[in-house]
Amino acid sequence: METPHGKTPNPCALCGYHAPHRDCPHCRHSPPEVSLRPPLAGPMGGIGLGFMALPQGLRFLFSTPKVKRWLIPPLLLTLTILIAVLYWGWGALDQALSGALPENFELPPPDWAWVERWGWVQAAVAGLMTGVEWLVNSSWGLVTNRALTGVVYFMAGILASWYVFSIAYEAFAGPFLDEIQGRMEIRWFGLDPRSSIERPSNIPVETCVRLSIIASVAALAVVLAALFMGASLWALVILIPMPFFAIALQNRPYGTWLYWVVQVESRAITASIKASIVTGLLLLLALPLYFFPGLGYFMFALVAGFATSVGLLDIPMERRGWSFRQRIRFVFGQLPALCAFGAVSGLLLSIPIIGAVLMVPAASLGGLWLLVRLDKGNLRSASESPEIP
């Protein structure tokens, strides 16, 4: 996103949106949300805020009405992928465990010719071999025991869920988290600053909603008729947008608004996919930590939580239209606070099942709250840096 004049945004030190003058037209440096009013924090002062960000994200998630419904579509898609991964993984793991060793492991008999005169040596070596065979067979019997196999499956399932929720959920949830963040900023600032900067203002919101509902109903009717006639998948892909295009041709302001929405959602999808790719690479590099005895479970969870939470910051940065240089400058300038935020996210992610489900939306809102609470004055032009108490 660029400013209306096509330039790189000059972020407000508080809300982070483009504010060309000292007085920000979006947050007025005094937002209605009480938790955003204290003085902005620097790199070291923001460490405490980093620890608080995820609990704040959970608080906003459960206390803000009509936002949790936006999490259902990406959650269902992610759970579908997770079930498929677990089904395939359990089959592969079961085959690997059952076929790794024969039912009765035996060492090849040695050549006793060189110790024919020393029977005690033969007895000692034979006893040692018998002990090794017993140890291997007993150990493998324990590993392939159903109870312990269940533990192995459980640990593999937890690892798979971390990967799926850290990568797939992050990729699918981008547009939905973007919508949630817009509603959250309305709660915090009284308006959605991005809409006030970008949204075409020559068509009322009510008209956009009414025309979109009409187009959606028409698209559903077209899909049902096409399915009844046996249309292919590609035909459905082409037919679904047709009612929207038809209404856009009849109502040019609606067409302008629809084009803006498509641009916004495309940027949100792109940002979430980029973040999920980076997260996937970091998790791949951190995979050996998972097998570290004792602490490996929590070490990998911390890395996964940090990678996912920092990756989710790309959504609020994209909403504000920050350049790549501004994003890098903010991340490295506020690295202590972001590390604290990532550590808490990792602790939540380490909770089996529920941690993976809650971590992404909580980290998304917590990251947004943290981004607002941290000082962004160094991203502004030196001549226009506002003084915020």
* Both tokens assigned to 254: 């609606």
State residue 53's pLDDT score: 95
Signed CA dihedral, 130, 132, 133, 139: sign only: positive
State residue 137's pLDDT score: 62
Of 119-133, 159-173, 245-259, the poorest mean pLDDT is in 119-133
Closest CA to 105 of 58, 56, 140: 140
At 369, the pLDDT band (50, 70, 90 cuts) reads: very high
**Whole-number mean pLDDT of the chain?**
80
More confident residue, 10 or 141: 10
pLDDT one-digit tens code per residue, 34-80: 999 888 998 888 999 999 999 999 999 999 998 988 888 888 888 88
* Both tokens assigned to 69: 């419904």
| Residue extents of the structural domains in the chain | 47-203+251-377
* Average pLDDT of span 313-321: 91
* Both tokens assigned to 208: 């956009």
* Both tokens assigned to 314: 């790309």
CA distance linking residue 147 with residue 165, whole number of Å: 27
CA distance linking residue 384 with residue 380, whole number of Å: 7
State residue 189's pLDDT score: 92
DSSP, residue by residue, 116-172: TT-HHHHHHHHHHHHHHHHHHHHHHHHHTSHHHHHHHHHHHHHHHHHHIIIIIIHHH
* Average pLDDT of span 311-327: 89
